Amino acid sequence: MASFSASSVPLMKFSFVICFFLTAYAGNLYQDFDLTWGDGRAKILNNGQLLTLSLDKASGSGFQSKNEYLFGKIDMQLKLVPGNSAGTVTAYYLSSKGATWDEIDFEFLGNLSGDPYILHTNVYSQGKGNREQQFYLWFDPTTDFHTYSILWNPQRIIFSVDGTPIREFKNLESNGVPFPKNQPMRIYSSLWNADDWATRGGLVKTDWSKAPFTASYRNFNAKACVWINGASSCSSSSSSSSSSSKNNAWLSQELDITGQQRLKWVQKNYMIYNYCTDTKRFPQGFPPECKIS
């Protein structure tokens, strides 16, 4: 989901041998998030252990993280709108601000009862997206909570579902492909009506007799560098301790052989759209990252 803020964030240089970072472990959601819109339709419940967003005909709702991050490994468990969710979109994403924003997207496109959700992913860098990949899931995401993860480090972005990688976007700046690495991003999520496009290209409209629609969130976990007052919480000082090295492993994490095999399995069996194979959309040739294995 694109950020529409008109404010700008200057690009910032970032050098690192990371030592200090924020870790949030399934703690109190009051501490990590602000409910930003929806006139009471967004709620934090169960002493901060559960967050819900609701949508009715009058309004959707949303929240955002209190912190901005410049690189991180971020997990959240979601349970999506059950039943007839056609026309609804649950968006969960990282985004910076300004006209040349960066963004890393999960969007869950609702559907008629019995039809599968579509998981829509995208990566924006310097205000340019158009890197959509879409997937079906191998389970019903409405009956229980599942973990949706973004690993964002200087080398790559990996989208994962319940620990299974579904997409990797590598840093290919050396090939002229912009990569999000200079702008801190905040976590955002919203539940909103998009029946002009979300389900079968807008052919299926939201059934408001089923409202309110509700999505649920819990168990937020983050290992990340927090951006505070124009500086990263990560330090250029080094640490030789084994615990620090272990905690910092996400900064250089990549897919091992098993991860690569799982990624191929998902993309072979559950990917339903890939911009890198859309010849009608790119008649003059695919974007450069599509040509690099």
Q: Residue 107 catalytic?
A: yes
Residues making up the chain, counted from first to last: 293
CA torsion angle 219 39 101 167 (round to 10): 40
Distance separating alpha carbons of residues 147 and 78, to the nearest angstrom? 7
How far apart (Å, rounded) are the C-alpha atoms in residues 185 and 181?
10
Q: How far apart are CA 120 and CA 271, in angstroms?
A: 10
Q: Is residue 40 exposed (0-12), middle (13-18) or buried (19+ Cβ within 10 Å)?
A: exposed
Are 238 and 19 a contacting pair, CB within 8 Å?
yes
* DSSP calls for 246-265: HHTGGGG----HHHHHHHHH
Which residue in the list 68, 107, 132, 168 is annotated as catalytic?
A: 107
Q: Which is catalytic among the residues 68, 103, 173, 289?
A: 103
* Alpha carbons 157 and 278: distance in angstroms, whole number: 22
Query: Which residues of 113-163 form beta strands (DSSP E)?
Result: 118-124, 133-135, 146-152, 156-161
Rounded to whole angstroms, what are the CA distances from 152 to 8, 42, 217?
Answer: 22, 27, 21
Pairing of strands 33-37, 61-79: antiparallel
Please give the Cα distance from 252 to 261 (Å, whole number).
Answer: 19
Does the CA dihedral 183-186-189-194 come out positive or negative?
A: negative
Instruction: Please indicate whether residue 132 is annotated as part of the active site.
Output: no
By annotation, the residues acting in catalysis are 103, 107
